[in-house]
């Protein structure tokens, strides 16, 4: 099976970036999946199982292959990063070169706006374009009310209502999802169902155990799947489920651009929007132009982000201390070695 690189998002601008590697006889490809030092790379002449032990690659990266080796990773244009699992000091890149981050929110009365805002901050932070997909509209009696509520939380972001069950809204969504797309959202919001509707591939049954050419068991799972309509690809990696904020201060500023714009009109540049005189944010709340909830949500997410950043810093400091101790010990051992003349 071979792939057209354009279907995977290849463009003249990627070709320009790749030019020095092309001159060196290397092959371009896009990483479809990474596992333990190896990765599946889709190239124009088919998938290649490549060694990536020395390269920091993730699904969505464009790479230069030399045979079965990842020789280079092209600089990422966007990256979706989450707070790493414990034991790792930096953020973990979940998907690279993403164009659209679709925040999936189920249509229920009393929709969790804070959760949507949190995911939107993460989406903005990635450098990709955020959209909100409102799922399960068939099961909601008041979609209009939910859309109104979301409009105040998803500022500057298109909200697209769909029902995978009724097949409604999918054409409009497909038209909006171009380039490399990821779906983020809580478990159970309908991501898998939506992914299946958008790609025609039942992703739920992708996780089948297969046997490779040498009779060994392998999991065949592709995480880079062309979207119906031929205008994009979907990245579906298990790690995208349940993402936490990681150093998303820029993303927060963008997700709360309305509050930031108001704050620009406060008399004091360090206004806490509490009881300071000349506070434009409080004035907007009092005038009913900004929901109090939104300011509270912004504050909560800023605290969460600071906490994540502080935790990362603490971990980095601890790691540095550890490596200093190791270095000292090596230095001591060197001097204490028998025959070194100094005891
Ligand atoms: N009524 C209705 N139910 C839906 C729709 N889409 C998904 N569901 C149901 O919602 C439940 C969860 O859907 P999934 O697609 O598995 O959700 P998910 O976000 O992929 O969940 P995880 O795999 O746990 O992350 C399932 O029972 C689906 O049948 C829809 O458009 N309408
Ligand atoms: Zn203020």
Tell me what pLDDT residue 291 has: 95
* pLDDT range class, residue 207, cuts 50, 70, 90: very low
Cα–ligand 1 centroid distance for 79 (angstroms): 26
Name the E strands within the chain: 27-35, 38-43, 46-51, 62-66, 69-73, 79-82, 92-96, 100-106, 129-135, 159-161, 179-184, 208-211, 217-220, 224-226, 232-235
Asked if pLDDT for residue 341 goes beyond 50, the answer is no
- The domain locations on the chain are 12-73, 79-240
What DSSP element (H or E) covers 335? Answer: helix 292-336
Q: What is the pLDDT of residues 27-78, one digit of tens each?
A: 999 999 998 788 999 999 989 999 987 778 999 999 999 999 999 999 999 9
The radius of gyration of the chain from alpha carbons, rounded to an integer in Å, stands at 24
Mark 149-158 as b/e (b = at least 16 C-beta within 10 Å): bbeebbbebe
Cα–ligand 1 centroid distance for 210 (angstroms): 26
Which among 10, 16, 25 is positioned nearest to 64, based on CA atoms? 25
Cα–ligand 2 centroid distance for 260 (angstroms): 10
Query: pTM here?
Result: 0.83
**Residues near ligand 1 with C-beta < 6 Å?**
135-136, 138-139, 163-165, 185, 187-193, 241
Q: Return the ligand 1 atom nearest residue 139 CA.
A: 1
Cα–ligand 1 centroid distance for 192 (angstroms): 7
Residues facing residue 72 across a β-bridge: 64
The CATH T-level fold of domain 79-240 is Rossmann fold (3.40.50)
**What residues does the ion ligand 2 have nearby, CB within 5 Å?**
266, 271, 273, 279, 281
DSSP 81-94: EEPPPTT--S-EEE
Higher-pLDDT residue of 302, 37: 302
Q: Could you tell me what percent of the chain has a pLDDT over 90?
A: 61
Name the CATH superfamily, with its identifier, for domain 12-73: Nucleic acid-binding proteins (2.40.50.140)
Q: Which of 143, 163, 188 to mutate to test the pocket of ligand 1 (most atoms within 8 A of CB)?
A: 188
């Amino acid at each position: 099976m071979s792939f057209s690189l354009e279907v995977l998002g290849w463009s003249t601008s990627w070709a320009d970036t790749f030019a020095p590697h092309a001159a060196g006889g290397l092959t371009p490809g896009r990483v479809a999946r990474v596992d333990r030092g190896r990765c599946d790379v889709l190239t124009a002449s088919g998938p290649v199982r490549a060694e990536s032990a020395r390269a920091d690659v993730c699904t969505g990266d464009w790479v230069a292959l030399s045979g079965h080796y990842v020789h280079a990773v092209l600089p990422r244009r966007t990256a979706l990063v989450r707070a790493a699992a414990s034991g790792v000091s930096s953020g973990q890149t979940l998907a690279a070169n993403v164009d659209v981050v679709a925040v999936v929110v189920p249509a229920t009365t009393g929709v969790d706006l804070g959760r949507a805002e949190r995911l939107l901050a993460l989406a903005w932070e990635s450098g990709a374009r955020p959209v909100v997909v409102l799922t399960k509209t068939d099961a909601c009696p008041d979609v209009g009310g939910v859309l109104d509520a979301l409009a105040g939380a998803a500022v500057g972001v298109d909200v697209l209502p769909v029902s995978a069950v009724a097949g409604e809204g999918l054409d409009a969504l497909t038209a909006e999802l171009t380039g490399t797309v990821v779906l983020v959202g809580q478990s159970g919001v309908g991501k898998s169902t939506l992914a299946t509707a958008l790609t025609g591939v039942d992703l739920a049954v992708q996780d089948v155990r297969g046997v490779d050419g040498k009779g060994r068991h392998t999991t065949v799972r592709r995480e880079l799947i062309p979207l119906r309509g031929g205008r994009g690809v979907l990245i579906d990696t298990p790690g995208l489920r349940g993402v936490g904020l990681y150093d998303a201060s820029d993303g927060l500023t963008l997700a709360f651009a309305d509050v930031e714009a108001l704050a620009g009109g406060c008399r004091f540049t360090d206004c806490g929007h509490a009881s300071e005189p000349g506070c434009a944010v409080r004035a907007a709340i009092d005038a009913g132009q900004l929901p109090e909830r939104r300011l509270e949500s912004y504050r909560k997410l800023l605290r969460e982000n600071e906490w994540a950043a502080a935790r990362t810093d603490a971990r980095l400091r601890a790691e540095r201390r550890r490596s200093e101790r190791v270095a000292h010990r090596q230095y001591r051992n060197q001097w204490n070695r028998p025959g070194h003349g100094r005891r």
